[in-house]
Amino acid sequence: MAKSIFLLFFSFFLISSAYAQGVLTSAEQPPEPVGGLKPFYDYISANLKYPEEAKAKKIEGRVHVTFIVETDGSITNVKVSKGLGGGCDEEAIRLIKNAPKWNPGKQGGSPVRVEVTRPITFKL
């Protein structure tokens, strides 16, 4: 019985800590781009400007960008979690910063801030 109460308290503490920090790494309903992932990646394809340095050096691959989807669906705290160099990292950040709003993640039916990582592919 005491062990059950401890586990319940500990679980509540972990959830409360996540809320106190203000950003979750996952949610009951994860955030998603308005319209789904296809329109999001269509936006990326249509707006990607291949960096000249990357072209010259024939750099290809994926840049993984981490960002926060806010409770209003806006995107903040954009950073590269795995980069390529040659200007690709900066271009991936530019694309995400200018991306359309997302539908926010939800926890217990309420919008929450959620950290998301998405790959941006650079291919010549």
**Does residue 18 surpass a pLDDT of 90?**
no
**Does residue 74 surpass a pLDDT of 60?**
yes
Read off the pTM. Answer: 0.80
**Does residue 42 surpass a pLDDT of 50?**
yes
Strands 61-69 and 105-107: unpaired
CA distance from start to end of the chain: 62
Mean pLDDT of 80-86: 97
Right CATH number for 23-122 from 3.40.50, 3.30.160, 3.30.1150, 1.25.40?
A: 3.30.1150
Rounded to whole angstroms, the Cα distance separating 85 from 89 reads 6
Share of the chain above pLDDT 90, in %: 81
**Does residue 50 surpass a pLDDT of 80?**
yes
**Does residue 24 surpass a pLDDT of 60?**
yes
Amino acid at residue number 10: F
Closest to 70 measured CA to CA, from 33, 115, 107: 115
Mean pLDDT of 6-26: 54
Mean pLDDT of 17-32: 78
Mean pLDDT of 89-110: 97
Structural domain boundaries of the chain?
23-122
